[in-house]
Structure 1
Amino acid sequence: MTAGHPHAGHPHESVFTLEATQLKFGEGAVDELGWEIGRLGLKRIMLVADPVLREFGVTGRVIGQIEAAGAAAVLYEDIAVEPTIDSFGRAAAFAKGADVDGFIGLGGGSTIDTAKVANLIKVHGGEIMDYVNPPIGAGRKPASPLLPLIAIPTTSGSGSEATTVAILDIPDLKVKTGISHRFMRPTLAVVDPVLARTTPGAVTASAGLDVVCHAAESYISKPFDSRDKPANPGERPPYQGSNPIADIWSMKALEFGGRFLARAVNDGDDLEARGTMMLGATMAGIGFGTAGVHIPHSCAYPIAGLKHQYTPPGYRTNHAFVPHGFSVIVTAPAAFRFTYDSAPEKHIRAAELLTGAPVAEPGPESLPDALIALMRQVGAPSGIAELGYGEDDIPDIIDGALKQQRLLVLAPKAPDRSDLETILRQSLRNW
């Protein structure tokens, strides 16, 4: 392991950690939920559920499992697609008034993130902005663990079931950001491929491209041992940089994305493809939950937060917004073009994993080309122009990206303002 270049007088980091959610995966896994509830000793559970799932019978099925375990369900369904500080606030207020000893998050990343924040405020109180990552929020850290949270994803994307983070839109500031702490990581993830049948193809596309981006960014992130060593273990960040363990998870998720995403998008009944993408999402979540993400995600938050002009296909909502996976992937080709010379071998390997074949002419375009080919295959937007942005908007996007320092510090090659401008100009249209 090669040490990087820590600041003068500071020893370099020599330790990395892996803290992973317990995972139960497979067809029929949700039918073992009652047993898990009994194992955890839960008696009254706040079930945070995507309201769409009620009509597919999924919510009723989970309530049946809760009641079969001798527990009671307190149902909460006021979920926003791409949550806002207000939607999180409503969930937190409900949780504070609810007599519960645990949580279940049933749905996509938006739902699971809502359950995380409701749990946080239920246990530790305060306002949501108290916990939002600095410099946007105060970055308050919860002093003790939260109540048990079981995450049951129904999409194959965010990996929220395996991570420490919850993402929110703050419209007044025109920015998306996050709350992150190790205590927010779910206790258990129950991942059942059958539940992904309810997800439309366009939603599967966006969610799956988020998986690919998580995996590529974490795999090609700043090595953990190039950071300064923290003053004490409690100050070691959740996102620590690439390391040998995280790389294993990220590489497999890249392979799954390349092999199965297009199939999962095109055929909702292809359980092998949808199930493998769900597993890939969780694996990528474990990888980036340890290593972190960087430039594409830093740019994605202002891209999603500054304008609300894009109406995505396939989402059952009447408001304009940019799905997270699309906001991330549009800058990924240019971002990895920029970072190529920091670790050429990793960029080439990521391209090979995505395409399933050796790269004929290895170089800076290898990974961008592989990403663009996958984007086109699954019907992603061609770039930020399609999302409503022009050249005049680039300075504002840069301002928003630069606020995401907790992510940008993980880039294997640190971008300055002019680098971000180049990345965003190249991302206006990828084809």
Structure 2
Amino acid sequence: MSDTIENLQGNWNYPTAVRFGVGKAAGIGEACRDLGMRNPLLVTDPGLAGLPMIADAVTSCEKAGLTCGVFSDIKPNPVGQNVDDGADAYKAGNHDGVIAFGGGSGLDAAKAIALLVGQTRPLFDFEDAGDNWTRVIEEGVAPIVAVPTTSGTGSEVGRASVITDEANHVKKIIFHPKMMPSIVVADPALTVGLPAHITAATGMDALSHNLEAYCSPFFHPMAEGIAVEGIRLVKEYLPAAVKDGNDLVARSQMMISSTMGATAFQRGLGGMHALAHPLGALYDAHHGLLNAILMPYVLIRNRSVIEDRMSRLAAYVGLENASFDGVLNWVLDLRQELKIPNDLGALNIDDAKADLVGRMATEDPSAGGNPIQLSADEYKDVFLKAVKGDLS
């Protein structure tokens, strides 16, 4: 079957109910009504709040017989105060559900707000550590409809949010199974207005999720299978989506790859994210761009234990050189084509906090899924190579 926008439509459950295809955003109100909402709070970021797509979403709710409020006081890397403020807005407006609308920041903040509104503990008491998730008052978690506007984080099908603890300058993962949205409305047309450089960075984030899930040492055969197809979709469609933002087939396939990546990383993430999370907290840099820059340095560090599976991956995605070097060179060529910087220095990140970064990386939950358990000094070494652009 050839790829046409007509056949890139459908509804599926895996496990979230996904309503996918161009034009599906018109059904946001219906999705909310299907979950029993009468007065949802739409949570998004300030950059989207004034755009027609938000007004259209509110109109969709009104057509479904609902009222709808909007909350958009969210930073690009959302912080705990954003979540607290959103929960206050939810309660003040007597809302009964959340529409998580946006890229990673909007989706993560919205899911955390939906969790927090029915709790008696502060947000960071639910950090993904030990059995903290059991502290959640489950019946207090608001129902969620998720509407992604980028193709990168896949947060629309995730059970967690990454929120910055400003007091301690660290990104923390807030987790509970009920944070997974009940319905996803995935409309690739919402991504058409994304600038090329954001399309590139978010697309590389999708690649990092699929790639790290594929390399994870944990046993999850279904996730491994999803990841390799997610990687193939990036290879085939990310350059096209960056080159022509109006290419709805490419936009659709990248939105699918993004969702696949977040489904696959139930198997685990790894060193890219273990480093990207502290760097995002310390330098407020774009998460997808950090992963894109870090990617080859982490692959090289893990080479000794992932070489065989990289050969399998290379064969599956159709690389001429079916080896680790084939995958690495493809990543480097893709980054160059997408104008992704080769080193962290391009983001004004230097080596001044190298010891802190190394230590924070070992403490990040993503570190547990790296193929090699790295020490703080070893993460520091990877970070320094990425600062200098040293691919040796």
What's the TM-score once normalised by structure 2's chain length?
Answer: 0.90
Cα distance in 1 for partners of 2:246, 2:390 equals: 31
The answer for the alignment partner of 2:148 in structure 1 is 153
Q: Which has the higher helix share?
A: 2
Cα distance in 2 for partners of 1:28, 1:22 equals: 17
The answer for the alignment partner of 2:270 in structure 1 is 294
Shift of 1:138: 6.3
Cα distance in 1 for partners of 2:79, 2:337 equals: 31
| Equivalent residue letter for 1:276 | Q
| Equivalent residue letter for 2:366 | L
The answer for the alignment partner of 1:277 in structure 2 is 254
Of the three residues 257, 261, 273, the one matched with 2:234 is 257
Q: Secondary structure at the match of 1:371?
A: helix
Change in Cα spacing, 1:352 to 1:324, as seen in structure 2 (3 Å) is farther
Q: Secondary structure at the match of 1:123?
A: coil
Cα distance in 1 for partners of 2:162, 2:228 equals: 24
Shift of 1:79: 2.2
Cα distance in 1 for partners of 2:376, 2:366 equals: 15
Cα distance in 2 for partners of 1:382, 1:171 equals: 29
Shift of 1:299: 0.4
Contact conserved, 1:300 with 1:327, CA < 8 A, in 2? yes
Contact conserved, 1:298 with 1:402, CA < 8 A, in 2? yes
User: For the aligned residues, what is the CA RMSD?
Assistant: 2.2
Change in Cα spacing, 1:125 to 1:98, as seen in structure 2 (3 Å) is farther
Shift of 1:105: 0.9
Q: Residue deviations 1:42-64, cap 9 Å, x none?
A: 21111112333344310111111
| Equivalent residue letter for 1:144 | E
Shift of 1:81: 1.2
Q: Residue deviations 1:140-179, cap 9 Å, x none?
A: 6414252210000111111000111111223332222221
1:166-205 to structure 2, matched below 5 A, reads 166-205=161-200
Contact conserved, 1:124 with 1:142, CA < 8 A, in 2? yes
Of the three residues 366, 369, 380, the one matched with 1:421 is 380
Cα distance in 2 for partners of 1:43, 1:171 equals: 34
Cα distance in 1 for partners of 2:288, 2:179 equals: 22
Of the three residues 142, 145, 149, the one matched with 2:136 is 142
Q: Secondary structure at the match of 2:68?
A: strand
Q: Residue deviations 1:10-66, cap 9 Å, x none?
A: xxxxxxxx9722111111111222332332222111111233334431011111111
Q: Secondary structure at the match of 2:255?
A: helix
Contact conserved, 1:206 with 1:325, CA < 8 A, in 2? yes
Change in Cα spacing, 1:351 to 1:373, as seen in structure 2 (3 Å) is farther
Shift of 1:220: 0.7
Residue 117, structure 1, aligned to residue 79, structure 2: no
Cα distance in 1 for partners of 2:47, 2:28 equals: 20
Q: Secondary structure at the match of 1:172?
A: coil
Contact conserved, 1:157 with 1:210, CA < 8 A, in 2? yes
Cα distance in 1 for partners of 2:226, 2:146 equals: 19
Q: Secondary structure at the match of 2:118?
A: helix
Q: Secondary structure at the match of 1:391?
A: coil
Change in Cα spacing, 1:350 to 1:325, as seen in structure 2 (3 Å) is farther
Cα distance in 2 for partners of 1:97, 1:395 equals: 44
Contact conserved, 2:216 with 2:370, CA < 8 A, in 1? yes
The answer for the alignment partner of 2:321 in structure 1 is 359
Change in Cα spacing, 1:48 to 1:353, as seen in structure 2 (3 Å) is farther
The answer for the alignment partner of 1:341 in structure 2 is 304
The answer for the alignment partner of 1:21 in structure 2 is 16
Contact conserved, 1:96 with 1:121, CA < 8 A, in 2? no
Shift of 1:126: 2.0
Residue 393, structure 1, aligned to residue 369, structure 2: no
Cα distance in 2 for partners of 1:162, 1:379 equals: 29
Cα distance in 2 for partners of 1:87, 1:190 equals: 24
Contact conserved, 2:32 with 2:40, CA < 8 A, in 1? no
Contact conserved, 1:132 with 1:140, CA < 8 A, in 2? no
Deviates more, 1:162-171 or 1:114-123: 162-171
Contact conserved, 2:77 with 2:280, CA < 8 A, in 1? no
| Equivalent residue letter for 1:332 | M
Shift of 1:197: 1.2
| Equivalent residue letter for 1:335 | V
Q: Residue deviations 1:290-317, cap 9 Å, x none?
A: 212111101001111223xxxxxxxxxx
| Equivalent residue letter for 1:255 | R
1:202-351 to structure 2, matched below 5 A, reads 202-224=197-219, 243-288=220-265, 290-307=266-283, 321-351=284-314
Contact conserved, 1:165 with 1:181, CA < 8 A, in 2? yes
The answer for the alignment partner of 2:3 in structure 1 is none
Shift of 1:339: 1.9
Q: Residue deviations 1:191-233, cap 9 Å, x none?
A: 1011101211111111111100000001110223xxxxxxxxx
Contact conserved, 2:293 with 2:344, CA < 8 A, in 1? yes
The answer for the alignment partner of 1:40 in structure 2 is 35
Cα distance in 2 for partners of 1:269, 1:331 equals: 29
Cα distance in 1 for partners of 2:187, 2:279 equals: 32
The answer for the alignment partner of 1:381 in structure 2 is 341
Q: Which has the higher contact order (CA 8 A, sep 6+)?
A: 1
Residue 372, structure 1, aligned to residue 367, structure 2: no
| Equivalent residue letter for 1:111 | G
Query: Which structure 1 residue ranges, 5 or more long, are not aligned?
Result: 1-17, 225-242, 308-320
Cα distance in 2 for partners of 1:255, 1:402 equals: 30
Of the three residues 85, 88, 100, the one matched with 2:95 is 100
